[in-house]
């Protein structure tokens, strides 16, 4: 079974994000990057499926991203993925879902696939579009925000659960399929040291757009980010302290009237 | 030579041959272990044997040790006498007197006689303890171990009686055999037996024969019982770790094709680690010092040793057979040592502090953890985010590394990157940077350094986790990454010493960074602040009246022997009364956070920090003084759980700064 897991390099959730002066992106200095959290669930689920199917099943990581994304790809390889395709081209400057999906579609088609796992959204731009565009481009079904996944005996169908408001939805799908993963689907493994050592020797096929026969990526852009803006600062919080509740309430009313002018 | 002598000679030679074979087997088993350099420093090694074997220094740390002291020396004197007696039976007329003279032989005889009764007394006390008092430390859930202990005590008891039997009957047969002065108790035994109407030569022969056969049985039985310590303890003391306590070995990650890291099979331990297994006699002192055991967790240090020895003995045939290497070796985990045991350890080192023959438990536990973490990637799930946080943000908290120096706030704290050259690099540490109370302590330390006019700097966001926690959790790979990065950073700046308020960092820099080629004087803030007080750069004018007890952090008091300095600081503060924990200094009781336990759930048994808080509550004090950020957290949590938040937990730097602030004229 050819298992594809998609992976994006994204700023660490704890990183202090500042917009750059031009408003075209974030200041990368001092920001640590990681595998986008939901993509880790995708890698893990891919590995679990491979372990279950056995035989010549193979997990291939496919990543669109800058050179630095190699580090994240190696982490996925250390977890146990077999090889990787890294589409790295200066022409793909910013993260635009249509381009990303188009590039991924081409790379995945070239590689061959039976099932694709990806995160339900990237933790940086939260667009959650790539999986759907990709599903259309590959003309395969998609199941989003999966919280459980089970492959059928024959390996041509899968049963999934999706967490929706107030309950779970149980879905059956044919393969090939693209599945976007939600927290709770699994607990991603911590790469073992032999895994890390082996990952250093695993193949990462780095490809430029030209290698995919897609010289003109810019033509695919459907949306454009005009400007990145900092979040406006919220108002300050004030805790009203008083000896007892009535005094505190009196003080609160006074503040609301005189300072906040809300009353 | 009489027929009796010939039979005894044949048995004696056969038993000696068998004993020699067994000793050789034990030696060959040791040699299956990995190399470890425990050679050199010979004078100190000999001295260790004199102090800890001869004088039984650690054994005597507890009253019950007196019994062992008497049995040990009794065993030596009586064995010499036994050898003489056996040789005398084989070669009639033989006696030490012909070789060593009357005086020495008389003295030996007297020692045998007197120690004999002392041994009997000790055995009675030992049996009383084992069967009536049943102290916690003798508790072991292996019935075989209990049977062994009883059998050996019983046989020694019988042996001594038999000794008096054959010595007494010999006196009855020939009153000139040995003088009353040289054998007072044997003469007494003779008087007792004189009325029994025994056929003296036959009785004498029976007593001696049974006695010697029991001795022969011992020679064969002991190496396979817990009393193997008779063979193992002395060399183990001789080859003991003379360096700092609990230092972990540096792992080599050069071989990128390696499939395995850490230890999962018995022969992967070093020969010295295997010798440890021979040295344990299951006295249980480690058990009753172990914070995990005392809070009903599945770990007892000596049971780990006991089970590993059992495993080694079970595997001896396979290990020693020529082609045995090819067989699949049984795994230590989980049959011999369970994961729950391994993760329960706080690496506090109390077991090693107590152990009379200097067994090193903690390193074995970490070696096994290394296998679980590095090779198997198998560990309590709450550890994974900790590792990831350390990898990505260089601290165990899930906080961005860029905010590492945010605690500084408006304080003018110089950065190493700006100053380049300075006297003191103040190592803030992860807790000092990210934990709210840790940050208070950091600000207090900085306040004191500034008050005293110290030329210092901090690394700010260049500082990374020191690697100590990762190392003790078994993640040597991550630890080495952090250690190497920090060393690179240190090398960029010129400074005379490191000062830190974290004992874990202190131990790491002082003891473990040198393994990676970086040495610099490292002081704990208690040492440095005390120097500042003594040199008059800080003056504590006092606080409102308070009474507190200082809690020794394991990595400070036990691992690094820093116990007087923090107390001296507190003594410099007027109106501050000091109480003392019953368990303190080198024998302090862990807060529960060491060895990475700070980051793990404590789901088994009761909570260690609450046990320590209870110990404190018995002191009637209102302050707990700590000198470690982990201890701080554990105490605050423990007090919360006990609903005693009226008790304040303060770092020594905080109370000192408060005391200094009362004088406005500098210093």
Cα-to-chain-centroid distance, residue B61? 14
Give yes or no for B98 touching A (CB within 8 A).
no
d(CA B512, CA B514): 5
- H helices, E strands: number in chain B: 27, 8
Confidence check: pLDDT of A108 > 90: yes
Listed by number, the residues of chain B in 429-488 with a beta carbon closer than 8 Å to a beta carbon of chain A are 461, 477
Q: Residue A45: left if φ>0, alpha if ψ -120 to 50, beta else—which one?
A: alpha
Give φ, ψ of B626 to 5 degrees. Answer: -125, 165
3-state secondary structure B99-162: HHHHHHHHHHHHHHHHHHHHHHHHHHHHHHHHHHHCCHHHCCCCHHHHHHHHHHHHHHHHHHHH
Output the DSSP codes for B268-289: GSBHHHHHHHHH-----TTGGG
DSSP-based three-state secondary structure for B611:
helix
Which of the residues in chain B have pLDDT under 70?
1, 322-328, 662-667
* Residue B326: per-residue pLDDT: 55
CA distances from B350 to A68, B290, B336, B385 (A): 46, 6, 22, 29
The total of other beta-carbon atoms located within 10 Å of residue B253's CB is 16
Q: Which residues pair with residue B626 across a beta bridge?
A: B651
Listed by number, the residues of chain A in 8-27 with a beta carbon closer than 8 Å to a beta carbon of chain B are 12, 14-16
A177-181/A142-151 β-pairing: parallel
Task: Please list, in sequence order, all residues whose beta carbon lies within 8 angstroms of the beta carbon of residue B196, skipping any fewer than 6 positions away.
Answer: none
| Contact: B387, A190; criterion CB under 8 Å | yes
Give yes or no for B252 touching A (CB within 8 A).
no
Length of chain A: 263
Listed by number, the residues of chain A in 175-194 with a beta carbon closer than 8 Å to a beta carbon of chain B are 187, 189-194
Give yes or no for A30 touching B (CB within 8 A).
yes
Paired tokens of B529: 């602040």
Which residues in chain B have Cβ-Cβ distances shorter than 8 Å to A31?
402
Paired tokens of B52: 């800890």
Nearest alpha-carbon partner for A73 in A3, A5, A1:
A5
Give yes or no for A261 touching B (CB within 8 A).
no
Q: Using one digit for the tens of pLDDT, what is the confidence trace for A177-195?
A: 999 999 999 999 999 999 9
Confidence check: pLDDT of A144 > 70: yes
Question: Containing H/E element for B318?
Answer: helix B316-320
Nearest alpha-carbon partner for B407 in B424, B430, B381:
B430
B392 closest CB neighbour out of A12, A16, A192? A12
d(CA B402, CA A30): 6
Across the A:B interface, residue pairs with CB atoms under 8 Å apart total 54
* Residue B494: per-residue pLDDT: 97
d(CA B277, CA B302): 9
Output the DSSP codes for B218-237: HHHHGGGSGGGHHHHHHHHH
* Residue B667: per-residue pLDDT: 46
In chain A, % of residues over pLDDT 90: 61
d(CA B608, CA B348): 12
Where do the domains of chain A lie, and which CATH numbers do they carry?
2-220 (3.40.50.620), 233-263 (no CATH)
d(CA B644, CA B514): 42
Question: Containing H/E element for B68?
Answer: helix B65-90
Question: Containing H/E element for A64?
Answer: strand A58-64
Nearest alpha-carbon partner for B384 in B445, B448, B474, B449:
B474
Reading across the β-sheet that carries A2-7, which strands appear in turn?
A167-174, A157-164, A142-151, A177-181, A115-119, A2-7, A58-64, A83-87, A204-207
| Contact: A193, B375; criterion CB under 8 Å | yes
Nearest alpha-carbon partner for A174 in A192, A159, A153:
A159
ipTM of the complex: 0.87
The total of other beta-carbon atoms located within 10 Å of residue B199's CB is 10
Residues B472, B349: contact at Cβ < 8 Å?
no
* Residue B86: per-residue pLDDT: 92
Give yes or no for B257 touching A (CB within 8 A).
yes
d(CA B9, CA B13): 6
Give yes or no for B406 touching A (CB within 8 A).
no
Residue in B with minimal Cα distance to A79: B377
| Contact: B375, A192; criterion CB under 8 Å | yes
* Dihedral sign of CA atoms B182, B187, B189, B193 in order: positive
Give yes or no for B402 touching A (CB within 8 A).
yes
Q: Which residues pair with residue A157 across a beta bridge?
A: A174
B623-626/B648-651 β-pairing: parallel
| Contact: B374, A197; criterion CB under 8 Å | no
Confidence check: pLDDT of A49 > 50: yes
Confidence check: pLDDT of A138 > 80: yes
Give yes or no for B616 touching A (CB within 8 A).
no
- Max CA-CA distance within chain B? 98
Residue A244 Cα, gap to closest chain B Cα (Å): 21
Residues B320, B25: contact at Cβ < 8 Å?
yes
* Residue B327: per-residue pLDDT: 59
d(CA B191, CA B585): 53
CA distances from A19 to A28, A92, A227, B44, B629 (A): 9, 20, 10, 63, 35
Residues B625, B551: contact at Cβ < 8 Å?
yes
* Residue B383: per-residue pLDDT: 95
Give yes or no for B296 touching A (CB within 8 A).
no
- Max CA-CA distance within chain A? 74
* Residue B3: per-residue pLDDT: 86
| Contact: A194, B387; criterion CB under 8 Å | no
Reading across the β-sheet that carries B424-427, which strands appear in turn?
B456-457, B424-427, B497-500, B522-524
CA distances from B461 to A30, A216, B404, B424 (A): 9, 42, 5, 17
Give yes or no for A196 touching B (CB within 8 A).
yes
3-state secondary structure A197-243: HHHCCCCEEEECHHHHCCCCCHHHCCCCCCCCCCCCCCCCCCCCCCC
Residues B36, B270: contact at Cβ < 8 Å?
yes
| Contact: A14, B253; criterion CB under 8 Å | no
Residues B390, B422: contact at Cβ < 8 Å?
no
d(CA B293, CA B277): 20
d(CA B565, CA B653): 12
d(CA B248, CA A237): 49
Q: Which residue has the tokens 């910013």?
A: A94
């Amino acid at each position: 079974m050819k298992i594809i897991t998609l992976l994006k390099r994204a700023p660490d959730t704890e990183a202090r994000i500042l917009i750059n002066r031009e408003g075209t992106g974030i200041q990368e200095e001092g920001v640590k990057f990681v595998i986008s959290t939901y993509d880790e669930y995708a890698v893990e689920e891919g590995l679990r499926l491979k372990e279950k199917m056995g035989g010549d099943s193979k997990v291939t990581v496919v990543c669109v991203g800058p050179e630095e994304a190699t580090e994240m790809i190696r982490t996925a390889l250390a977890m146990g993925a077999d090889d990787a395709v890294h589409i790295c081209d200066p022409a793909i400057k910013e993260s635009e879902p249509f381009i990303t999906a188009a590039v991924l579609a081409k790379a995945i088609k070239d590689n061959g696939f039976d099932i694709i796992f990806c995160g339900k959204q990237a933790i940086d731009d939260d667009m959650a579009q790539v999986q759907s565009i990709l599903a259309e481009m590959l003309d395969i079904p998609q199941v989003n925000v999966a919280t459980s996944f089970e492959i059928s005996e024959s390996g041509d169908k899968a049963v999934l659960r999706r967490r929706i408001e107030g309950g779970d939805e149980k879905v059956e799908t044919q393969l090939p399929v693209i599945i976007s993963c939600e927290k709770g689907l699994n607990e991603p493994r911590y790469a073992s040291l032999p895994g890390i050592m082996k990952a250093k020797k695993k193949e990462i096929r780095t490809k430029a757009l030209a290698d995919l026969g897609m010289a003109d990526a810019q033509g695919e852009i459907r949306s454009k980010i005009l400007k990145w803006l900092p979040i406006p600062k919220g108002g300050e919080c004030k805790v009203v302290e008083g000896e007892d509740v009535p005094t505190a309430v009196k003080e609160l009313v006074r503040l609301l009237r005189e300072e906040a002018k809300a009353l | 030579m009489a027929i009796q002598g010939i039979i005894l000679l044949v048995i004696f030679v056969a038993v000696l041959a068998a004993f020699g074979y067994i000793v050789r087997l034990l030696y060959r088993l040791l040699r299956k272990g990995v190399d470890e350099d425990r050679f050199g420093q010979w004078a100190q090694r000999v001295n260790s044997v004199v102090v800890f074997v001869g004088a039984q220094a650690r054994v005597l740390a507890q009253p019950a040790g007196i019994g062992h002291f008497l049995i040990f020396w009794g065993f030596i004197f009586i064995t010499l006498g036994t050898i003489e007696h056996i040789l005398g039976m084989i070669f009639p007329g033989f006696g030490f007197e012909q070789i060593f003279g009357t005086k020495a032989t008389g003295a030996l005889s007297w020692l045998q006689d007197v120690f004999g009764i002392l041994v009997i007394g000790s055995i009675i006390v030992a049996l009383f303890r084992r069967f009536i008092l049943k102290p916690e430390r003798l508790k072991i859930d292996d019935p075989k171990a209990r049977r062994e202990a009883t059998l050996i005590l019983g046989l020694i008891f019988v042996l001594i009686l038999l000794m008096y039997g054959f010595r007494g009957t010999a006196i009855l047969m020939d009153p000139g055999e040995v003088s009353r002065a040289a054998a007072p108790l044997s003469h007494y035994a003779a008087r007792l037996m004189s009325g029994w109407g025994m056929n003296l030569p036959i009785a004498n022969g029976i007593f001696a024969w049974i006695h010697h056969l029991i001795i022969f049985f011992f020679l064969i039985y002991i190496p396979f019982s817990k009393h193997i310590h008779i063979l193992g303890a002395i060399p183990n003391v001789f080859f003991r770790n003379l360096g700092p306590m609990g230092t972990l070995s540096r792992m080599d990650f050069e071989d990128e094709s390696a499939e395995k890291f850490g230890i999962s099979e018995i022969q992967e331990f070093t020969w010295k680690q295997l010798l440890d297994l021979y040295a344990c006699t299951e006295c249980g002192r480690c058990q009753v010092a172990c914070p995990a055991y005392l809070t009903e967790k599945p770990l007892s240090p000596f049971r780990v040793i006991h089970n590993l020895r059992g495993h080694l003995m079970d595997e001896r045939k396979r290990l020693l057979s020529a082609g045995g290497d090819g067989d699949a070796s049984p795994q230590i985990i989980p049959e011999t040592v369970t994961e729950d045991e391994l993760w329960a350890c706080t690496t506090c080192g109390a077991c090693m502090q107590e152990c009379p023959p200097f067994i090193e438990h903690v390193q074995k536990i970490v070696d096994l953890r290394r296998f679980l973490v590095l090779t198997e990637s198998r560990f309590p799930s709450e550890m994974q985010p900790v590792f990831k946080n350390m990898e990505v943000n260089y601290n165990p908290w899930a906080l961005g590394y860029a905010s590492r120096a945010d605690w500084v706030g408006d304080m003018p704290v110089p950065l190493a990157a700006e100053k380049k050259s300075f006297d003191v690099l103040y190592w803030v540490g992860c807790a000092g940077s990210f934990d709210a109370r840790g940050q208070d302590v950091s600000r207090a330390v900085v306040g004191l350094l500034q008050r005293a006019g110290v030329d210092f700097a901090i690394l700010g966001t260049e500082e990374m986790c020191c690697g100590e926690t990762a190392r003790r959790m078994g993640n040597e790979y991550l630890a080495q990454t952090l250690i190497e990065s920090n060393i690179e950073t240190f090398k960029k700046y010129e400074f005379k010493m490191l000062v830190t308020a974290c004992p874990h960092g202190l131990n790491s820099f002082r003891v473990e960074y040198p393994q990676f080629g970086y040495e610099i004087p490292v002081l704990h803030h208690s040492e440095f602040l005390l120097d500042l007080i003594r040199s008059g750069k800080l003056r504590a004018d006092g606080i409102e009246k308070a009474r507190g007890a200082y809690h020794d952090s394991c990595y400070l008091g036990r691992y690094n022997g820093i116990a007087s300095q923090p107390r001296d600081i507190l003594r410099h503060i007027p109106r501050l009364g000091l109480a003392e924990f019953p368990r303190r200094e080198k024998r302090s009781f862990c807060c529960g956070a060491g060895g990475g336990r700070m980051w793990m759930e404590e789901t088994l048994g009761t909570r260690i920090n609450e046990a320590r808080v209870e110990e404190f509550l018995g002191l009637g004090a209102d302050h707990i003084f700590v000198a470690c950020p982990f201890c701080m957290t554990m105490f605050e949590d423990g007090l919360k759980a006990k609903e005693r938040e009226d008790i304040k937990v303060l770092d020594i730097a905080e109370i000192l700064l408060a005391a200094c602030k009362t004088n406005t004229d500098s210093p």
